[in-house]
Amino acid sequence: MSGCALIKGHRVFSVLRSYSLEHECGDELLPLLLAHRDVVNRILEELWSHIEWKKRKLPGKKQWRLLPKYKVDIHSGEYKKELRDSLLQEWPYAAHWVDSVIKTAYSIFKTWRKNYVKGERKRRRPTAKRLFARAKQTLIKLEGEKLRVTIKPDEYVYLELSKRYFSLPGEVSSAGLGEPIITPEKVHLPVHYGDGNQGGNPSVAWDFNLLSLDGYSPETGWVRIDTKKLASVHISSFEKRRSVQRKASRSKKAKRVLSKYSNRERNRARKHQLEIARVIQSVAGVVGLEELKKQGMHTRSRIWNRRISRSDWRGIAKILEGRMGEAGVKELDPYGSSSYCSRCGWHNRDLNGVDVFVCGGCGLRIDRQLNAAINLYMRLRFGYTVKRVGGKKRVQLKMEGASQREWWDTVVLPSLLGGCVLTGAERKTPDELVRGLYDALKPKLYYAYDRYADAYLRTPT
């Protein structure tokens, strides 16, 4: 995970990486973790009691849904203070743990509400089942190779860090640590590291496809990562698993073989996902990713549905979110990114899976995936609003000053052609250059899997 900090007016980028270490203090921490979980559920129950359900019509649709609305302002300072004071009356541990409990409960409730509005959760109160606690920085202190955790006033538990498999940055102190998450078996320790490259890398928006990842920014131009090798891992594993899947319900040996093939596929795919995330992180300082949902992409075609289910988009996104954090990864609405012209905004309603995007408004002829990456970059750079026009969804850019077409000709076109937009001949029409872009353009940066290096390397185009 990563983020940025402001120090004396300067913006300093840093990386927050999380590591897991086993500890032997489970018996000492267990009473605290149990009390922590009980109070989290108590807060969730109270927040749930403040909800009233309002019937609202979904925008652009005929359906109605029950959406949650709070009877009181649960985010006000007065409400939180009253909640904190009531919890402290029967709390036997350090008072700062109550702040951690409230923060955890609010985070769980916020996530449930967000997913419920999306239609991914049921109208049921969320509950905390796992034993864990997030410790505030005021509850921890780094003392040499040990992490001191305050349980009660003047009562501490020391977690051993000498067996760590990672190096702490020089001059590390308690301020260099994030808020560790403690479980009965492990401690997940976030550590801040300075990042000398991330602040200088540009923002790049990425279009996810079945066999490639296409990125764009004016600084890097068109970037493509070939993911055919990752797709072949799933295809070959699918054929192997299918041969023993029917026998798995009747034979224990077949069930073990099926489990072996599944684990092998997951581990091999994970290796490729980590390598692809490394390449993306080396190219971009801020990453714009499509917020894709596989549930809405399924059709009646069994072959297509299998391809979608085998895609690794979400796995790569999670790795990047873990490494770069919310400050480094932005999720973008993918609606219309492939079907709208990035130069003039004309809507091509007849793509039908073709590789070339042809604009009927300005004559732009460009690779379809590159056009989608440019659209996503503009949403990342300028921001956007989602509207309903005539019952249909529309993503509107927040551009100020120059028009979209002027910005495209001034910024995007030189970045695609390497800055050389003058041919020496007189242009017959203003759109002469863009009509032949598909035949003239190739990715400036192209990465593919090299089996000898066992890594994704840059290859000439």
The string of DSSP letters for 388-432 reads EETTEEEEEE---SS-HHHHIIIIIHHHHTTT----SSPPSSTTT
| All residues at 6 or more sequence positions from 208 whose CB lies less than 8 Å from its CB, including other chains | 289, 290, 292, 311, 313
Q: Which runs of E-coded beta strand occur in 88-145?
A: 133-134, 140-143
Secondary structure class of 173 (helix, strand, coil) = coil
| Predicted pLDDT at 285 | 84
Closest CA to 288 of 204, 372, 217, 222: 204
Q: How far does CA 7 lie from the centroid of its chain?
A: 27
Length of the chain: 461
**Crossing angle between the packed helical segments 77-88 and 96-118, to the nearest 10 degrees:** 130
Contact, 434 vs 367, CB < 8 A?
Answer: no
Q: At what angle do helices 252-283 and 228-245 cross, to 10 degrees?
A: 170
Give pLDDT, residue 172: 47
Helices marked H in 172-251: 228-245
Given this model, what pLDDT does residue 6 score?
Answer: 36
pLDDT at residue 194, as a whole number:
56
Q: Environment class of residue 102 by beta-carbon count within 10 Å: exposed (0-12), middle (13-18) or buried (19+)? A: middle
- CA 342 to chain CA centroid, Å, is 24
What pLDDT score does 131 carry?
94
pLDDT score at 15: 60
Supply angle C-alpha 264, 268, 271, rounded to 5: 145
Question: What is the C-alpha separation between 184 and 36, in angstroms, rounded?
Answer: 12
The contacts of residue 410 (CB under 8 Å, 6+ apart) are 402
Residue 246 phi/psi, 5-degree rounding, is: -70, -30
Question: Residue 79 is inside which H or E element, if any?
Answer: helix 77-88
Across-strand partners of 148? 141, 158
- What is the distance between the alpha carbons of residues 25 and 13, in angstroms, rounded to a whole number? 35
Taking alpha carbons only, the member of 22, 20, 36, 32 closest to residue 104 is 36
- State how far the Cα of 223 lies from the Cα of 443, in Å rounded to an integer: 6
CB 52 within 8 A of CB 66: no
Count Cβ atoms below 10 Å from residue 173 Cβ, excluding itself. Answer: 10
Are 190 and 411 spatial neighbours (Cβ–Cβ below 8 Å)?
A: no
Helix axes 96-118, 26-49, angle to 10 degrees: 50
Per-residue pLDDT of the chain (461 residues; tens, 9 = 90+): 444 443 333 334 456 677 888 999 999 999 999 999 999 999 999 999 999 999 888 776 777 888 899 889 999 999 999 999 999 998 999 999 999 999 999 999 999 998 888 888 889 999 999 999 999 888 988 887 888 999 999 899 999 888 777 666 554 455 567 889 999 999 988 877 654 444 467 889 999 988 999 999 998 889 999 999 999 998 888 888 887 887 777 888 888 888 888 889 889 999 999 999 999 988 888 899 988 877 777 788 888 888 888 888 888 988 888 887 777 888 898 888 888 999 888 888 887 778 888 888 888 888 899 999 999 999 998 888 888 877 778 888 888 777 888 888 888 888 887 644 434 434 445 555 566 666 667 888 899 998 888 889 988 86
State the Cα–Cα distance between residues 379 and 324, nearest whole angstrom.
20
pTM: 0.66
Give the CB-side neighbour count of residue 206, counting CA atoms within 13 A.
32
Q: Which secondary-structure segment (H or E) carries 213?
A: strand 212-217
